[in-house]
Amino acid sequence: MNEFNNVIDSARAAFERASAPAELENAKALFLGKSGRITELMKGLATLGAQEKKSLGAAINRAKQAIEMALDERRQALANAQMQMQLQSEALDVTLPGRRRGQGGLHPVALTLERIEAIFGSMGFDVAQGPEIETDWFNFTALNTPEDHPARSMHDTFYVEGGPQNAPNLLRTHTSPMQIRYAVQHVRQHRATTGTAQGEGLFAGSMPEIRVIAPGRTYRVDSDATHSPMFHQCEGLWVGENVSFKDLKFVFTDFCRTFFESDDLELRFRPSFFPFTEPSAEIDIRFQDGPLAGRWLEVAGSGQVHPNVIRNMGLEPERFIGFAFGMGPDRLTMLRYGVNDLRLFFDGDIRFLSQFS
């Protein structure tokens, strides 16, 4: 009997050691297989007498049943463990928050451009877009900048090589060429819709006023904390029969106070020079409070459109008069949000940019 208990115990131990179904089947063979321990014991019965055969045979059978039971238990345990592992690996934490896709947002300078467009839009200004690769004519000559004029070297221009003659050959250094492009188009369209002959000298009839802003990218050979080779400008133009400097002051003051949400913002028009305006003024603003309070800050150039420029628009300067201004949306953005390095706008660092969305 003792011998059989040992066999049962060692079978249980062998099954226990098996950590996978295949190992368990190998262990089973050691005891119940063709030359397993139990089978060997059975074979031994053949040589015994009937009485012994009966009692020993019954004992061996009980041992066999005990081993089979142990085997079943272990099979079950391994199957359970397998199931448990699978459940764990497929576990789903339904309390986890969903994975959102980042929302994205507008670039701070784009926000400023939208703001500029909305404010001037509310004052009846159209918004126009124009090419960034310009001709010398639109960028300089039509704006009353003679060939040898110092203003040409005031702007360090990127030139584009290899194009046909008189084709666009420079990256526009300012948005001012849009004054000419827009006005010429406006005059041509007016002449077409009213049936006035085209190209018959300067237009001197009556015409709806030109009121437009032209925001966009501009380029100069320049790079430091406050200059970037690519930057933004926004041009403004208002031409009619009775538009004066007083209107410029009113419109620009209203714009700045709305843009900076400050009713007591001060403006100063400081005499200056631009080839395309006469007289010309630099526009400075001064905040009453906040970190920039008390300092005059330059935000735009402006002036009354030069008669030569009026002519290049196709208009008779004896009849038409107007003013223009050009401002820097990058700088306006820096002032509005207190950003001190222009390059941050163009680095594309999401940690900086996401603060504005």
Binds ligand DAH (CB under 6 A): choice among 275, 303, 322, 329: 303
Question: Is residue 37 close enough to count as binding ligand DAH by CB under 6 A?
Answer: no
- Judge contact between 315 and 187, C-beta under 8 A: yes
Which residue lies nearer to ligand DAH by CB, 4 or 252? 252
Question: Is residue 134 close enough to count as binding ligand DAH by CB under 6 A?
Answer: no
Question: Is residue 333 close enough to count as binding ligand DAH by CB under 6 A?
Answer: no
Q: What is the phi-psi region of residue 348: left when phi exceeds 0, alpha when psi lies from -120 to 50, beta otherwise?
A: left
Question: Is residue 125 close enough to count as binding ligand DAH by CB under 6 A?
Answer: no
Q: What is the DSSP letter of 102?
A: P
First to last CA, the chain: 84
Which residue lies nearer to ligand DAH by CB, 68 or 254? 254
Query: In the range 270-299, which residues lie near ligand DAH by CB under 6 A?
Result: 274, 277
The Cα 78–Cα 206 span in angstroms is 97
Segment near ligand DAH (CB under 6 A), from 86-94, 126-134, 159-167, 319-327?
Answer: 319-327
Q: Position 121: which residue type?
A: G
Question: Is residue 326 close enough to count as binding ligand DAH by CB under 6 A?
Answer: yes
Binds ligand DAH (CB under 6 A): choice among 64, 152, 172, 174: 174
Q: According to DSSP H, which parts of 49-203 are helical? A: 50-89, 108-122, 136-139, 150-154, 177-194
Question: Is residue 135 close enough to count as binding ligand DAH by CB under 6 A?
Answer: no
Q: Position 301: which residue type?
A: G
Question: Is residue 181 close enough to count as binding ligand DAH by CB under 6 A?
Answer: no
- Judge contact between 179 and 235, C-beta under 8 A: yes
Provide Rg for the chain, Cα atoms. 45
The Cα 348–Cα 329 span in angstroms is 18
Question: Is residue 330 close enough to count as binding ligand DAH by CB under 6 A?
Answer: no
**Interacting residues toward ligand DAH by CB under 6 A:** 174, 176, 235, 274, 277, 301-303, 324-326
